[in-house]
Amino acid sequence: MALTLTKSGNPHAATIVYLIRHIDDLNTAALAPFKDLLLSKINDKDNGITLFHSGMGHVVAVLLKSPADNAKVGELLEESRIKGGHICKRLNHEKVTSATVLRASTSVSKEELLAFCEGVALANYQFLKYKSDKKVNSLTSLLIDDAAVDGIELDELNTVIAANHIARDLGNEPVVGLNSVQLGEFAVEAGKRAGFQTEVLNKAQIQSLRMGGLLGVNAGSSVPPTFSILTYKPDNATNIDPFIFVGKGVTYDTGGYSIKTGASMPGMKMDMCGAAAVIGAMYAIATNKLPVYCIGLIPSTDNRINSDALVPDDVITMHDGTTIEVLNTDAEGRLILGDALSYAKKYNPALVIDLATLTGAAAAITGSLGSALMGTDTTYREQLIAGGDLTYERLWEIPYWKEYADMLKSDVADMKNIGGAIGGSATAGKFLEHFTDYPWLHIDIAGPAILKDDEAYKQKGASGVGVRLLYSFIKQMAGK
């Protein structure tokens, strides 16, 4: 069940969560009886995470990092989210349904308070659709008792959290319940709720556009491909040329005839997490009415095998006329993204950002700690990275030298779809760059998009990575 953050609180509620940092924070009447115990937690730099006094109904989150320690803002906010995640698990363990959050003093900033609440709400996510015994979390309401926080801020945060949950739901949904056609239908319905327009191109329209990458990957499937165009253009938009998000929408990836091993196959329902991030971000941006013209492009298909499927050595022709020698059918994401990136040229975009679970090479570099970044843009790059630091959906620029493009030269076509054993994520980026003539950034989310284990405020499975990052970036573009 979703957790709602509300702008009201009862200081005498049965369960109260206090955020503390300094010794002086322990002088409040409610915390004074536990001063010695809490003081030991403040001084314990290896712990200090949470305390729970079930009899009194007091929960204490001790923030150990401090601006005085030269901690970066993003690090302070992430510690708060992590503490919120731990608190959420404890509240649900104690079957708490509602709690009030207080700052013990201004030693804890308003931003840290909101990040803490965000961590609680993100940690409360569950995907129970296919469970017979649905053990639903008890926590449904978090009341923020703080004069510095207004209802508008909480409405905005609730929407961003809901958008992240949308992306997680999409990623966790098996292909039996979410194929390419259904993904397009979901985007239409999400647009109706949020306030953006969605056009879903069918196979005949995709054929008329000569999108050989998308059609080639789809050739082995009984489900037709879709190409979804999500448009949010408010009357008060501050930009004339749009910011475009492109999301890889492979609803299941067997690898095609370059078939994955059995151990690598589970989890491939989440090979559309880039598309999920785009839908989630557009939902948050439109619902919160940010004054920025944005477009989402989602090429979608599954990658399966039949007698018509691509095989290594096939040559296909992309939307822009480029011929591609396909040497590995498991390097399919770049084929469908290439068509979408060339299609984006028609909009004269200010910037295009694509997100994709593209390469294991990127995941090997970042793990679940961040995403690999590359591309041609220099105008917006630092702002996107800054947004990643604040949301802790961090970005790391990898080597992206021009020589990586040479590794894609083909003997029989304009390009081949893989390089070699070196620089797998960079050669994939260079492949995508070929289809751009505008400012462009590529985010390979293969590491953080699919989690093998629970983390503080994230659960095993789809993480919804990219939603909070893109929202933060567009909010910067809106000047808010």
Q: Hey, which residues are catalytic here?
A: 260, 334
Which residue has 């992430």 as its token pair?
78
Q: How far is CA 94 from CA 57, 58, 145, 217, in A?
A: 10, 12, 22, 49
Taking CA atoms, 407 is separated from 46, 293, 323, 338, in Å, by 47, 37, 16, 17
Cα atoms in the Cβ-side hemisphere of radius 13 Å centred on 455: 19
Picking from 480, 479, 449, 475, the residue whose alpha carbon sits closest to that of residue 294 is 475
Kindly state the tokens that stand for 456.
């503080």
Query: Roughly what angle, to the nearest 10 degrees, separates helices 151-172 and 467-477?
Result: 140
Q: Hey, CA dihedral for 158, 354, 338, 257, is it positive or negative?
A: negative
In 68-179, which ranges are continuous DSSP H helix? 73-93, 110-123, 151-172
What the block records as the tokens of 198 is: 């969605």
Q: Which of 71, 167, 57 is nearest to 111 (CA)?
A: 71
Residue 312 to residues 255, 332, 338, 431, Cα–Cα distance (Å): 11, 12, 18, 17
- A 10 A CB-CB count for 34 gives 17
- 95 within 8 A of 61, measured Cβ to Cβ: no
